[in-house]
């Protein structure tokens, strides 16, 4: 599925003025905050690997952060360094988190989803929290997103 990611991103960018764009692993989040959304991918008829989507915020998703170290699998530490639960609008924020590399683990619908992210909470945060987060799609992919606006 990851080999198809560039096609999905291109389709999303071209389909509207403001879109959530899926990002590859190891991306930098400005601030340890954002939202978690479920994305129902709907194939566009007669177009290969092109989708429209329906999004909904995911409430009560438990998010945990584990230290991410090169060469180690996710979550080898027994305890997360931070955890939080999304609110009714799918929003989350980790407080007191230092800059660094983390595994984000989302626990939703009796499944665990893992994604590597770099948090940079020293950057400007206020506007970024509403424009970034994580998405779980109808094909089971868990990844980060940023919202971009195109004129």
Q: What is the pLDDT of residue 109?
A: 94
Q: Classify residue 100: in a domain, yes or no.
A: yes
- CA–CA separation, 53 and 147 (whole Å): 14
- The pLDDT confidence band at residue 9, using thresholds 50, 70 and 90, is very low
pLDDT of 74 above 70: yes
Q: What is the CATH number of the domain that holds 101?
A: 2.60.40.10
The stretch 5-13 carries a mean pLDDT of: 32
Reference 57, options 11, 99, 127, 108; nearest CA is 108
Q: Which domain holds residue 131?
A: 25-39+57-141
User: Has residue 44 been placed in a domain?
Assistant: no
Q: What is the pLDDT of residues 14-60, one digit of tens each?
A: 333 445 555 545 556 666 788 999 999 888 899 887 888 889 999 99
Domain count within the chain:
1
């Amino acid at each position: 599925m990851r080999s198809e990611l560039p096609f999905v991103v291109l389709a999303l960018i071209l389909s509207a003025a403001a879109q959530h764009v899926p990002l590859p692993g190891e991306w930098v989040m400005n601030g340890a905050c954002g939202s978690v959304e479920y994305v129902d991918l709907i194939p566009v008829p007669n177009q290969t690997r092109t989708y429209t989507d329906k999004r909904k915020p995911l409430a009560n998703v438990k998010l945990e952060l584990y230290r991410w170290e090169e060469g180690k699998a996710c979550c080898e530490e027994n305890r997360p360094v931070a955890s939080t639960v999304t609110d009714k609008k799918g929003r989350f924020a980790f407080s007191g988190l230092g800059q660094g590399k983390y595994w984000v683990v989302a626990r939703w619908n009796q499944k665990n989803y893992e994604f590597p992210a770099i948090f940079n909470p020293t950057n400007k945060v206020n506007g970024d929290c509403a424009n970034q987060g994580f998405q779980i799609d109808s094909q089971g992919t868990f990844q980060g997103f940023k919202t971009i606006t195109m004129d």
